[in-house]
């Protein structure tokens, strides 16, 4: 064995061993503020979340629906930068060593921090998911040094078979299947189409396939977890975080996650 | 300067710039568009159909007109005007929409969407959609809905729906964001008519090609009227479609100086402007890599310009490549210079330019002195100013209500 398993590989292996579907939770770093983000990340883990997707705010997030857009705006008002997010992950790692953290965002903010991205691995970041680049591209070609970081790509209902093959080839960690035509938080979930596509993708790769975009209810979660290796919950969490941002009382959110986690196991 | 005409490459790059930086859902639509366009652009029937529309619906060719009093005023080079303001709907934008709507038709799309800043592209899109009886939705920043209310009403009269966009800075870039989100959601039946040489490949190429009729006509007309090509061509640059359209056929004519004019807003030093080629860094926005107004964290910064059509933090990728290669020069003029020029051109020539276009005129103050009376400068009069009279009146301290 020449290299150690990464934190993300280990997590995926352990889920597989236990035949457990992954619960991936998305939140926007810096909304309502960075301290709350860390508190929420730990709370998520305690409520059964396996992997955390940390949204990196951008002024022009074209793949996001209104809920996540507004969260990006609030985070930017708090001057949340990628540099601060790296520090946040480092702080998270003081207490947590086994929950993978994925940075999800837009190319321009990563470009502006190309050098620091390499260092971020040593601060505890495990993967990047850049929404607005072709899934088959190699980040190194854009001067982004992602040494040690897994590169997660999206596959959509509209992705052609030849692109699916290319994207699977250049991905690591897992494949993120976008369950609908639309922005985050939409509600056009089509389970039958998702099932067909996920079946096809799994014939092309040994990577696990997680499904996300538009999961709101436990029914959505259960249905999608049956046909995939895990689910991603985003907009509904971001909405709840915002609703609780006055009181900073997050129990309601944790209860929701516990319910989701139990529903899909 | 080799090979600027044969760009973009197959991946959509002009040198370092361009590409397809979009969410995965859109990749298939871009490929479909690229394939359709590649097939149709050399199809004699398609070319004939566009040519007919350009002549009989748009009113082409647009004249090349000698601006005598403006020439006298600067007592330098002869100043000639390429009159895109005389096109149907009042700007160069119709050249692009007439072409793209035929692509939409060929692809069997039933629903048309577009973004607009000044409203000219919105009007030009609603116009061609009306003509083919297609459902049409126009996204427009809420701030622009306010300052271009005349065009908003025109769009509505043409049967299109205007969606005011409140997010972000409520201007052109946010309208583009929202149009992209609509497209991701309605990808199967919707055609997105982008209004400038911006966005992901193949749009910068398609919009340039449809506007290049302007430069091709100019080649013929300048030969007819003064027996040589112009010594310089001036055009305003927002996304850069009118400039690219008039520049492109001249890229290999190295004696023709190409000058793009950006919006310096309250002044380049103030930071409140919309001049990414003068004061920006390469970055990625709306599907392409290009010069961009951004902060050190890669966040896109607010722009300012008196002209809604130039009030955009990015610019078409081909312009970024022309800048780096040195083939074109990009300068900037501020709001005050533009207003002054707007009034002067209106009074001297009886031609009221759009505020966007007035940027190109205002650049004469910097540029004219570098040319002699035997030389010829052509200004691309990208549009007419009727839409801007409310803004101008307000700036002049008058109310029209
Ligand atoms: C008259 C006119 N000129 C110029 C522009 C700027 O666009 P571009 O730089 O693509 O020509 C606009 C945009 O709305 C316009 O209406």
**Predicted ipTM?**
0.95
pLDDT at A3 over 70: no
In A, minimum Cα distance to B179 occurs at A62
B115 is catalytic: yes
**CA of residue B297 relative to chain centroid, distance:** 28
Please report the pLDDT score of residue A140 as a whole number: 84
Which tens digit of pLDDT belongs to each residue from B19-69? 999 999 999 999 999 999 999 999 999 999 999 999 999 999 999 999 999
Which tens digit of pLDDT belongs to each residue from B186-220? 999 999 999 999 999 999 999 999 999 999 999 99
CB-neighbour burial class of residue B340 (10 A; exposed 0-12, middle 13-18, buried 19+): middle
pTM of the model: 0.96
pLDDT at B1 over 80: no
Q: Which domains does chain B have, with CATH numbers?
A: 24-53+93-207 (3.40.50.1100), 59-90+212-395 (3.40.50.1100)
CA A50 – CA A21 distance, rounded (Å) = 9
Q: Which residues does B contribute to its contact with A (CB < 8 Å)?
A: 20-29, 31, 167-168, 173-174, 177, 180-181, 184-188, 283-287, 292, 294, 296-300
Q: What is the CATH number of domain A7-260?
A: 3.20.20.70
Query: Which CA distances in Å does B53 have to B60, B95, B102, B109?
Result: 9, 9, 10, 20
Two tokens, residue B250:
């001249």
Residue bearing the CA closest to ligand 1, atom 1: B383
* Bond into B202 cis (ω within 30): yes
A62 touches chain B (CB under 8 A): yes
Q: Mean pLDDT in chain B?
A: 96
Catalytic residue of the set B20, B62, B82, B93: B93
Q: How far does the centroid of ligand 1 lie from the alpha carbon of residue B355, in Å?
A: 9
B135 is catalytic: no
Please report the pLDDT score of residue A1 as a whole number: 41
Q: Mean pLDDT in chain A?
A: 94
Please report the pLDDT score of residue B2 as a whole number: 55
- Cβ–Cβ below 8 Å for A158 and B29: yes
Which tens digit of pLDDT belongs to each residue from A53-90? 999 999 999 999 999 999 999 999 999 999 999 999 99
Alpha-carbon dihedral B179, B185, B187, B188, rounded to 10 degrees: -140
Mean pLDDT in residue range A103-132 = 93
- Cβ–Cβ below 8 Å for B299 and A58: yes
CA A61 – CA A104 distance, rounded (Å) = 11
Ordered by start, the domain boundaries in chain A are: 7-260
- Cβ–Cβ below 8 Å for B284 and A106: yes
């Amino acid at each position: 064995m020449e290299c150690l398993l990464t934190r993300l590989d280990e997590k995926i292996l352990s889920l597989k061993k236990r035949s457990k579907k992954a619960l991936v939770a998305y939140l926007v770093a810096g909304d309502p503020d960075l301290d709350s983000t860390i508190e929420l990340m730990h709370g998520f883990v305690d409520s059964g979340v396996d992997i955390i997707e940390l949204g990196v705010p951008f002024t022009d997030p074209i793949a996001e629906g209104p809920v996540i857009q507004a969260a990006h705006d609030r985070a930017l008002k708090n001057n949340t930068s990628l540099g601060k997010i790296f520090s946040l992950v480092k702080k998270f790692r003081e207490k947590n060593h086994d929950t993978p953290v994925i940075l999800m965002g837009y190319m321009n903010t990563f470009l502006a921090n190309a050098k620091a991205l390499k260092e971020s691995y040593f601060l505890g970041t495990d993967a990047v998911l850049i929404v607005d680049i072709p899934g088959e591209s190699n980040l190194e070609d854009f001067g982004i040094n992602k040494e040690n970081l897994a590169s997660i790509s999206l596959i959509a209902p509209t992705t052609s078979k030849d692109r699916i093959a290319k994207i699977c080839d250049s991905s690591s960690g897992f494949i993120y299947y976008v369950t609908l035509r639309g922005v985050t938080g939409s509600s056009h979930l089509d389970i039958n189409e998702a099932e067909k596509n996920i079946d096809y993708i799994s014939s092309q790769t040994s990577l696990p396939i997680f499904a996300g975009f538009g999961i709101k209810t436990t029914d959505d979660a259960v249905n999608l977890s049956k046909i995939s290796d895990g689910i991603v919950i985003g907009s509904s969490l971001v909405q709840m975080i915002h609703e609780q941002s006055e009181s900073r009382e997050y129990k309601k959110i944790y209860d929701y996650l516990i319910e989701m986690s139990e529903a899909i196991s | 300067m080799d090979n600027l005409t044969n760009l973009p490459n197959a991946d959509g790059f002009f040198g370092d710039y361009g590409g397809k930086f979009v969410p995965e859902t859109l990749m298939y639509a871009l490929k479909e568009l690229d394939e359709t366009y590649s097939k149709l652009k050399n199809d004699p029937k398609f070319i004939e159909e566009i040519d007919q529309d350009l002549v009989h619906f748009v009113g082409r060719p647009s004249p090349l007109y000698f601006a005598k009093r403006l020439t006298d005023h600067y007592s330098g080079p002869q100043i000639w005007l390429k009159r895109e303001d005389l096109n149907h709907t009042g700007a160069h934008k119709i050249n692009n929409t007439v072409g793209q709507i035929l692509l939409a038709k060929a692809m069997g799309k039933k629903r048309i969407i577009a973004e607009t800043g000044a409203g000219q592209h919105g009007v030009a899109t609603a116009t061609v959609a009306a003509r083919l009886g297609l459902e049409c939705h126009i996204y427009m920043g809420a701030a622009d809905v306010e300052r271009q209310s005349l065009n908003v009403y025109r769009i509505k009269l043409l049967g299109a729906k205007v969606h005011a966009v409140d997010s972000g800075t409520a201007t052109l870039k946010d309208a583009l964001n929202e149009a992209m989100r609509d497209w991701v959601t309605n990808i199967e039946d919707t055609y997105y008519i982008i209004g400038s040489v911006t966005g992901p490949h193949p749009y910068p190429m398609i919009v340039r090609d449809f506007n290049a009729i302007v430069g091709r006509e100019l080649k013929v007309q300048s030969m007819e009227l003064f027996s040589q090509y112009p010594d310089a061509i001036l055009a305003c640059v927002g996304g850069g479609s009118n400039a690219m359209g008039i520049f492109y056929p001249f890229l290999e004519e190295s004696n023709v100086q190409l000058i793009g004019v950006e919006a310096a807003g309250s002044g380049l030093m103030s930071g409140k402007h919309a001049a990414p080629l003068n004061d920006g860094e390469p970055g990625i926005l709306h599907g392409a890599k290009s010069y961009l107004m951004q902060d050190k964290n890669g966040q896109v910064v607010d722009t300012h310009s008196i002209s809604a059509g130039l009030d955009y933090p990015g610019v078409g990728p081909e312009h970024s490549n022309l800048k780096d290669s040195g083939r074109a020069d990009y300068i900037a003029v501020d709001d005050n210079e533009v207003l002054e020029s707007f009034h002067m051109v209106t009074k001297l020539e009886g031609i009221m330019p759009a505020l966007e276009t007035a940027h190109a005129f205002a650049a004469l103050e910097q540029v004219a002195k570098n040319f002699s009376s035997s030389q010829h400068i052509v200004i691309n009069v990208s549009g007419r100013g009727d839409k801007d009279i409310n803004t101008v009146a307000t700036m002049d301290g008058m109310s029209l209500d």
